[in-house]
Every structure is written in C-alpha cells, then in structure tokens.
Amino acid sequence: MPGSRASVFGEAEEFQAALSADGVAGLLVTGRGQFRARLTQVRLDGWRLAAVEEEQPRTAVAVPAGMVLVSFPIGGGPSPVWAGIELNNGEMITLGAGKRVHARTLGPCRWGAIRAPNQQLDDYGRLMNGTGFVVPPAARWRPARATIRQLLSLHRAAIGMAEARAGALTDLQAAYGLEQQLLDALIKCLSGGAQDETATSGRHRDIVARFEDLLVAEPSLPLVNICAALGVSNRSLRECCKKHLGMGPRSYRRLFGMQQVHRALRSGTPDTGSVSEVTRRHGFASPGRFATGYQAVYGELPSTTLRRASNPGVAELTLGRRRIKFL
C-alpha cells in the first residue's frame, strides 16, 4: 500500500531500524555527541524513496535483498562514501541485489535513495534498450545532466509531498504514475556508461564483510589470527578498513565491540549478568578501562545502562553524592 512518513531520530538504533526496509542491515556511530538524523520515506508498489539528513559520522551496512539500491547526493552537500566510492553532485551509485556494502559518513551529510525491484529494472531496461540490461554489483554513474536532473526532480517532488503531509501518496493511481515516471528516468540514467567496481575493490569489500562477521563470531580473536582467517596481511586489512570503514581494524573493533556491549546491557534480559561478564564476552579484558571509553561514547557508565534497563520504571537523577529515584 503506498504511503509516506517523515521522522526525526535521537537514537542511532531507531534510525537504523527505520532504514532496514531500505536494505540497511547495521549502523555504527563513529563520532561523539548527540545523535540526530531526519528521515523521509515514500512507499510505492514495490518501490521505496528516501531522503536523509545526518549529523554524526557513522558506518552502515547495506544489503538490498532482491532490490537495487540507488543513492545520490542532495542539497549540494556531501553524501556517504559507498564501498569506498565518494560521490560528487550529479553522480549516483547503484548497489546490486544481495551485495553487502559498507557506507560511511564523515559528518553532516544529505543523501537520497531509491530502492527498486531488480527484476523490474532488468525487464524494463531490456525493453527500452533492446539489449541485455543488468545493473552491476556496485558502480558509479555520471548520467547526462538533463537525465539526472529529471530523476532528482521526481525524487524531490515525492519527498516534498511526504514532508508537507504525512501519509501523502496514498492514491493508487497517482502512486503508479509516479512509479512509471521514476522507472523511465532511472533506466535512462542507467543506460549510459558506468564506472564498475574493479575486481580488487570487490575483493576488498568482501574482506571487510568477513572481518565484521569474525568480530561477531569470535570477539576475543587476536588480530593476527583474524588476518590469518581472512588470508590477508595486517597491512592489507588496515588498508581495506581505512577505505571502507574510515578507520583501522583496531579502532573499528573497539567501537563495534562497545556497541555490542551497549546493546546487551540495554536489553536488560536475565542472562545479561554483570557488566564485567558482558565486557569479557565481547572481547574486553579490562572492565575499568572499558568503562572509561564507554562513558566517553555513550555519556554514562556501563553499570548505569544495565541498571536503567533492569529497572525500566525507575528514572535516576544524581545530585552531588545523592541519588534520587523517581518511580
């Protein structure tokens, strides 16, 4: 059913959950400060449009299952770096169905996205071009100025309607007309030449994905063992992480593990246990040192996070050395 919504987020996990329908499978904030993001989404019959404004540096994992994800800068400012590819105004990137790609931001940015059914693009592309049409796994496109302007204009109009009135575009006929215009404009943009992902870039993207899988499966595995499991040198892993994650493997591992601890503590489940148990489970040997870093990132000690999750009906206010509880 067509529809739309505009949302403002102060929590990274809520923002990631809202983006999950657009193929975003994970998000890790890499900068400090209060998280803020604005997301406007338009849902058509199988298509989805999004406009995003972000303030904090972060990395995210995109895996558009059965769909093609198209992204481009909007508003004249910077946009995310997708698979190590930096986009300029007037350019766009496509991610093929099922391809796992990391996207990172350096700070405030604005970007747009269109998620379209893979098979529909292939079929319509062959019909329009009269030849085989396949969207590459990851590619940068520089369409003709008039062509990309038409696509961005359609995207901007749909987003503008959604922001002006929640639930806009519920009329099936209007939604179908917009979808057909988007399909035509997008195929025109994808009918020119593309800068395809090189074999080396694809291999590096796969290394980063497997590196992250190992962080989940074996949090305490030494870095030298991680490199051996991935079949790469320490230098190669560092270069891959710098390009796709914006930092070295040690820094990313620390932030990634800290996020896993934060999620475990916030769950407040009976098997969470003590803070020291959770930190050791996620590869941190020194709870004291971990607590200092955790507080710098999340603004509170890990014990406070666990206590708050275990007592959801209690809010705490600390005044000097006195702690007052409100039920």
pLDDT tens per residue across all 327 residues of the chain: 678 889 999 989 899 999 887 778 889 999 888 899 999 999 888 899 999 999 999 999 887 778 889 999 998 888 999 999 999 999 999 988 888 899 999 999 999 999 998 888 888 888 887 666 777 878 999 999 999 999 999 999 999 888 887 555 556 677 788 889 999 999 999 887 788 888 999 999 999 999 999 999 999 899 999 999 999 999 999 999 999 999 999 999 999 999 999 888 888 664 556 888 888 888 888 888 889 988 888 888 998 888 887 776 544 443 333 333 333
- For 58, 210, 289, the CA distances from 284, given in Å and listed in that order, are 22, 21, 9
- Which residue ranges make up each domain of the chain? 3-196, 200-310
DSSP notation for 170-222 = --HHHHHHHHHHHHHHHHHHTTS-EEEPPHHHHHHHHHHHHHHHHHHH-TT--
What's the CATH number of domain 3-196, 2.60.120.10, 3.40.50.740, 3.90.480.20, 3.90.1150.10? 2.60.120.10
Question: Buried b vs exposed e over 254-269: b needs ≥16 C-beta within 10 Å?
Answer: bbbbbbbbbebbeeee
pLDDT of residue 312: 62
- 200-310: in CATH 1.10.10.60: yes
pLDDT of residue 217: 92
Taking residue 234's Cβ as centre, other Cβ atoms within 10 Å add up to 13
Are the C-beta atoms of residues 15 and 27 closer than 8 Å to each other? yes
What letter would DSSP give residue 22? G
- For 197, 203, 206, 212, 231, the CA distances from 200, given in Å and listed in that order, are 8, 5, 10, 19, 15
